[in-house]
Homo-oligomer: A and B are copies of this chain.
Amino acid sequence: MSGRVVRDVKRAERTVVDGLAACGVATVHEAQGRTGLLDQYMRPIFPGARIAGSAVTISAPPGDNWMLHVAIEQLQEGDILVLAPTSPCVDGYFGDLLATSAMARGCRGLVINAGVRDVRDLTQMGFPVWSKAVFAQGTVKATLGSVNVPIVCAGAAILPGDVIVADDDGVCVVRQETAAKVLEKALVREKNEESKRSRLAAGELGLDIYDMRGKLEAMGLRYE
């Protein structure tokens, strides 16, 4: 079942992708009905990055990073590499050389349910990675995997071309075909939050803004 590289992958519109990046993971996740989050343990190697891009997916054997070389050829400007090992692994599949190559192809970052290394260099290069681990342990190039096939990465089903949004709060996947609609909802959400933010900053209470007092009382909340 492995040993496949799918070349023709539909991506979402660049403006949609960039719009989702600007909204960030928490907002996008809410906007699509609280679905699509990767597991909580996926953490960025440095704080502050907020990106979105189209997924080039990789299914790789544990401890074997050969398919990353294959995947890099499939990258288009604005893509994100997304790697899931076929068995749990924390080895460092990816380092500064691969990042140099991926950046040269327009790649925006890496999401990997395994380890990454050379993180000092990656930080200096500004290449963001969300991973399960940071670990100097190297990998081999001995067994085939697949590129641009459906994968499950850190608990989320991801299809090639799906939009990946990632920031300090984690990583979220949006189906390519619903991305525009999710962006719309996310923007409405953001607008709505903006007005709330200024009222809250002025000292108004959420209890009043969201009109919660009646419902809380009805449910039996009592003040002592």
Interface residues of A (CB under 8 A from B): 1-8, 24-26, 29-30, 32-35, 37, 39-40, 43, 46-48, 50, 61-63, 66, 69-70, 72-73, 86-92, 95-98, 100-101, 103-105, 115, 117-120, 123, 133-138, 140-144, 150, 152, 155-157, 167-170, 172, 193, 196-197, 200-207, 210, 212, 216, 219-224
Contact = CB atoms under 8 A, between A and B. Distances in A.
A123 to B, nearest CB: 7
Contacts of A4: 221-222, 224
Contacts of A136: 25-26, 29, 37, 169-170, 172
B205 A101 contact: yes
Given A62-B89, A152-B152, A207-B69, A3 B138 contact: no
Nearest to A201: B100
A137 B201 contact: no
Contact of A220 (B3, B137, B202): B3
A20 to B, nearest CB: 13
Contacts of A48: 120, 123
Closest 5 CB pairs of A and B: A136-B169, A101-B200, A69-B206, A40-B135, A26-B136
